[in-house]
Amino acid sequence: MEANEAQELKEHAEHGGESGMRPVAFTMSVLAVLVAIATVLGHRTHTEAVLYQNKATDQWNEYQAKKIRSYNTGLAADLLGVVTLNDKAAAEKTAKAYADHQAKWADDLKDTQEKAEALEARVDKAEARATYLDLSEAMLEIGLVITSVTLLTRSRIYWYLGIVFSILGIASAAWAYLQ
């Protein structure tokens, strides 16, 4: 092989060969890592939302149980008020105990309801974050696929378009955590 032929092959490789596609291949590697990160974060956020929903459900179940106890105590107090008993002192003592329970449960119900509503707010926030992370994953995957088309067509327009989608994906992930 002559020196000028070797020089021609070198120039051809630099202008349109594999070395010209190294930035595209590197971009694809970075995008693959970002897709993996967005996927893991999205799954973790969905899991977080489910766990908060379970806690909220438990809290609402506790609220309902306290409400039923309160209602039953109120019925017993009402019944005690209309039934004539031989021991008035015992009846008054029992009625006072029922009234004390009612007051305690009224406060407990309010606290339990506030806790359940706070947990539901956390569920909503986690679901919103998960939605943006899902969008991020989709945009990054689209960016990765479009960027890979550059390797097939040797047209850099696909690389630039892939970068645009990737930036949208990164922005969506950032937005998920800025809310």
Residue 6, pLDDT score = 46
Predicted confidence at residue 17, as pLDDT, reads 53
Q: What is the pLDDT of residue 164?
A: 96
CA 77/CA 55 separation, integer angstroms: 33
Most distant pair of Cα atoms in the chain: their distance: 124
| pLDDT value for 1 | 47
pLDDT score recorded for residue 19: 65
Distance CA 143, CA 160 (A): 9
pLDDT at residue 121, rounded to an integer: 94
Kindly list the averaged pLDDT for each block of 10 residues, start to end, along the chain of length 179.
Answer: 51 57 91 94 95 94 88 77 70 76 83 92 95 96 94 92 96 92
Q: Which residue has the tokens 């039953």?
A: 72
